[in-house]
């Protein structure tokens, strides 16, 4: 092969690689914000490949689902109301942080809600649906998910590990702790059993702005570890995400086995107009392998009135990277 032909083939190969890289990048890029005025976002990728989106609506009065074949199409998908708050008693206000899970062929929505006689008497509840498509069929109220403390509780998530399901949620753990994260095994999708173990409480300054809060757990199993992200501080520009992890063969109900980074992993970056990122979830891109982090944030700092009254926490999606040690890298300095 002469030099000219070799150079030509090399140039063609480099062009092909560049084109492939461009196509791959295009496939895993998303329009941000993805869905405006939706906080605590959760995106579930079903076995059929469809994506389902659920989140807190700014009126805190209902639960909606969206369905689309791609993540970007969730933005224009029609919201379908699957449940509405009660007029009195429990589940009448502060309808927060719904998550959609499929367990043993049944769909479940876990969410938090307050009481008509005390809007801050917030507890965790569940709905179920036996339809193949959660946007269809009938959603049935399954009642409260009861905990030992029976205190202010919210932001539940569920994951499976070694054939057992675990429930992780935020609950008041002390007079000066608004919420810490607790883990428990599940007897079934509606019942906890065994020890309810506190795995993190707010201890660092970045976790204690205005409120002493650890909440909004999201679980990702990778690289021989179980990672849990969580959010801390107030729902303004001080909101930030932290990281817990445990080796997959350790006892998940042994508090000392959990590790916690002393610094946040994702937080306000004014240079890219990202303020108060938090309450994330994880999903997988259309290629079936690229991890994504889904979260909410505002694009401005200053808020008039109480931060919960400001509706502009928007859902955003970005690729989750991994460092050389097998830990998630949120690329704090990068915009979406």
Q: With pLDDT > 70 as the criterion, what percentage of the chain qualifies?
A: 92
Q: Are 182 and 174 in contact (CB under 8 A)?
A: no
Q: Which residue has the tokens 């959990």?
A: 258
CB atoms within 10 A of CB 333: 8
Closest CA to 177 of 223, 208, 204: 208
Write down the pLDDT at residue 28.
Answer: 82
Residue 302 CB neighbour total at 10 angstroms: 9
Q: Give the per-residue pLDDT at 292.
A: 98
C-alpha torsion sign, points 55, 26, 328, 209: negative
CB atoms within 10 A of CB 300: 12
State residue 278 phi and psi, 5-degree precision.
Answer: 175, -170
The pLDDT value recorded for residue 1 is 54
Q: Which residues of 1-29 are buried (b: 16+ CB within 10 A; e: fewer)?
A: eeeeeeeeeeeeeeeeeeeeeeeeeeebe
Query: Active-site positions?
Result: 40, 215
Which residues of the chain fall below pLDDT 50?
A: 3, 5, 10-11, 13-25
Q: pLDDT tens for residues 20-42?
A: 443 344 558 899 999 999 999 99
Element (H, E) at 241: strand 240-247
Two structure tokens written together for 293: 């982090």
3-state secondary structure of 278: strand
pLDDT digits (tens, 9 = 90+) for 146-158: 999 999 999 999 9
Radius of gyration of the chain (CA): 21
DSSP calls for 15-73: HHHHHHHHHHHHHT---SSSBTT-EEEEEEE-TTS-EEEEEE-TT-SEEEEEEESSSGG
Outline where DSSP puts E strands in 88-224. Answer: 90-103, 106-115, 118-129, 140-144, 153-161, 164-171, 180-188, 191-200, 214-222
pLDDT at 54: 99
Contact status, residue 179 vs residue 168, Cβ threshold 8 Å: no
Would you say the pTM of this structure is higher than 0.85?
Answer: yes
Which letter does DSSP use for residue 250 in this model?
Answer: S
């Amino acid at each position: 092969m002469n030099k000219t032909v070799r150079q030509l083939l090399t140039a063609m190969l480099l062009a092909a690689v560049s084109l492939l890289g461009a196509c791959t990048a295009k496939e895993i890029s998303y329009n941000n914000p993805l869905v405006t005025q939706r906080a605590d976002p959760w995106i579930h990728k079903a076995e059929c490949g469809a994506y389902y989106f659920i989140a807190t609506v700014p009126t805190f009065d209902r639960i909606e689902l969206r369905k689309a074949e791609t993540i970007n199409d969730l933005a224009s998908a029609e919201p379908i109301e699957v449940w509405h708050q009660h007029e009195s008693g429990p589940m009448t206000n502060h309808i927060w942080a719904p998550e959609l899970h499929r367990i043993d062929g049944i769909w479940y929505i876990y969410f938090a809600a307050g009481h008509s006689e005390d809007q801050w008497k917030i507890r965790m509840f569940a709905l179920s649906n036996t339809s193949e498509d959660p946007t269809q069929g009938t959603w049935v109220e399954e009642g409260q998910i009861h905990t030992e403390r029976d205190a202010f509780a919210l932001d539940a998530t569920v994951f499976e590990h070694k054939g057992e399901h675990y429930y992780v949620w935020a609950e008041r753990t002390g007079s000066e702790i608004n919420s810490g994260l607790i883990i428990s095994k599940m007897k079934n999708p509606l019942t906890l059993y065994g020890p309810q173990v506190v795995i993190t409480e707010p201890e660092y300054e970045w976790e204690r702005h205005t409120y002493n809060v650890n909440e909004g757990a999201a679980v990702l199993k990778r690289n021989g570890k179980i990672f849990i992200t969580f959010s801390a501080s107030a729902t303004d520009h001080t909101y930030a995400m932290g990281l817990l992890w445990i080796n997959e063969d350790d006892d998940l109900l042994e508090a000392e086995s959990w590790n916690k980074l002393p610094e946040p992993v994702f937080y306000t970056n004014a240079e890219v107009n990202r303020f108060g990122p938090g309450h994330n979830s994880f999903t997988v891109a259309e290629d079936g392998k690229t991890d994504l982090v889904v979260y909410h944030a505002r694009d401005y700092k200053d808020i008039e009135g109480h931060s919960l009254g400001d509706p502009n926490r928007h859902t955003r999606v970005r690729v989750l990277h991994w460092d050389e040690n097998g830990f998630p890298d949120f690329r704090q300095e990068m915009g979406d």
